[in-house]
Amino acid sequence: MPVDLPPIDEVVTFLEDLVAFPSVALTPNVDLIAHVEDLLRPYCTDIVLTHDETETKANLFATIGPAADGGVMLAGHSDVVPVDPDDWATPPFVATRLGDRIYGRGTADMKGFVACALALVPRWAALDLVRPVHVALTFDEEDGFHGAPILIDSLAGTPRPAAAIVGEPTGLQLIGAHKGCYEYTTTVTGMNGHSSRPTEAVSAVHHATRWISALLDLDAELAGRAQADSRFEPPHTTTNVGVVGGGLARCTVAGECSFEWEMRPVQSGDAAFVKERMAAVEAKLLAEMRAVHPEAAIETEAVCEIDGLEWVDASPALDLMRSLLGGDPPVGVVAYGTEAGLYQAAGIPSVVWGPGDIAVAHRPDEFVEVGDLEACLAVLARLGDQLTR
């Protein structure tokens, strides 16, 4: 059964309320989640909240309709990336409509999608749903994907959604696959000393640069490992060292150096390949370092290891989107990571599709077009048809 489209002003109001919560990743989000829970409570058959160990951050998983398998999960993250208000023409945590755009942090990534879902929930709840709609909202997606794994654990033994729509800002283009996102911080501990006597010390900066060079030298091999029919651009797994810091002064041998790096695997085997190669490089460097200073160390901390959304030709999630969008829409791939890879790995077929442009996300003056919100609303409203038969 079709549902009446909510007026766009209703969506905008929900969006204004969500943007007003400065839910920057790694900071508490329980106020935002409590607000959404209050909105959803009258329409839900079940709402499950799960928390991090500090209890200041929460995921929400709401069910509208019967506790049955085969529902559709609308998945979003509640957090946003940080802002520097000086770079913004409008206050970043005030949703500000200027013409056909609504500006504010998170309007595109991805509170606009969440606002559309919230506006539709009462309409879906009024239907005689045979299968449920689920609204999933996570914390800390933008910095380590800490929330989604906890939410996924809590789904064990509960009715299984047949598909997830992860509403990241794809400009309403259907995305069927994305690269993985593996992020690390590596710390090299050497021994400081006077730079006039370098052989009596162990430079952490010098050894870090050799480690980094070895990582960059893997690029050609990673390019060679790409599948011939890779849908990605570039087609292969890439690496990047984004931040390096170490040492005290020009005339001292650096005792410590750490660097932040990532890889974006197109296939899970590539991550293992990089790790194996770097373990061999590391063993050689450590042997040299420890010959001078036995306490020398190279330690790598994983910030996150998020597998990509792998391409699946026969995907129930793609089938769902084809029926919602009508016709045979093109299916793209992207190089950025989302929670869709985690949901897919947990057995929930997933696609990425949502309002807003990824090019304005994570930047000052982020915005979403009102037209995108209207189009998103119209497509999601058709879920009513899907889930009543």
Residue 37 annotated as catalytic: no
Compute how many residues bind Zn ion; rule: CB under 5 A: 3
Q: How far is the CB of 171 from Zn ion (least distance, A)?
A: 13
**x-or-dash string of contact with Zn ion, 150-189, rule CB under 5 A:** ------------------x---------------------
Catalytic residue among 16, 109, 140, 141: 141
Residue 141 annotated as catalytic: yes
CA–CA dist 22, 39 (Å, integer): 19
In the block, tokens 């909510």 appear at 6
Instruction: Give the nearer residue to Zn ion in terms of CB position, either 3 or 110.
Output: 110
Asked if 109 interacts with Zn ion (CB under 5 A), we say: yes
Which stretch in 105-113, 252-260, 292-300, 363-371 sits in contact with Zn ion by CB under 5 A?
Answer: 105-113
Q: How far is the CB of 167 from Zn ion (least distance, A)?
A: 9
Q: How far is the CB of 169 from Zn ion (least distance, A)?
A: 7
Instruction: Give the nearer residue to Zn ion in terms of CB position, either 140 or 168.
Output: 168
Q: How far is the CB of 168 from Zn ion (least distance, A)?
A: 5
Asked if 357 interacts with Zn ion (CB under 5 A), we say: no
Asked if 79 interacts with Zn ion (CB under 5 A), we say: no
Instruction: Give the nearer residue to Zn ion in terms of CB position, either 96 or 138.
Output: 138
Instruction: Give the nearer residue to Zn ion in terms of CB position, either 168 or 372.
Output: 168
Look up residue 305 and give its amino acid.
E
Instruction: Give the nearer residue to Zn ion in terms of CB position, either 40 or 181.
Output: 181
Q: How far is the CB of 331 from Zn ion (least distance, A)?
A: 19
Which stretch in 107-115, 147-155, 254-262, 292-300 sits in contact with Zn ion by CB under 5 A?
Answer: 107-115
Binding to Zn ion (CB under 5 A) within 110-139 occurs at 110
How many residues would you count in the chain? 389
Any idea which residues carry the catalytic annotation? Answer: 79, 141
Q: Which residues bind Zn ion (CB under 5 A)?
A: 109-110, 168
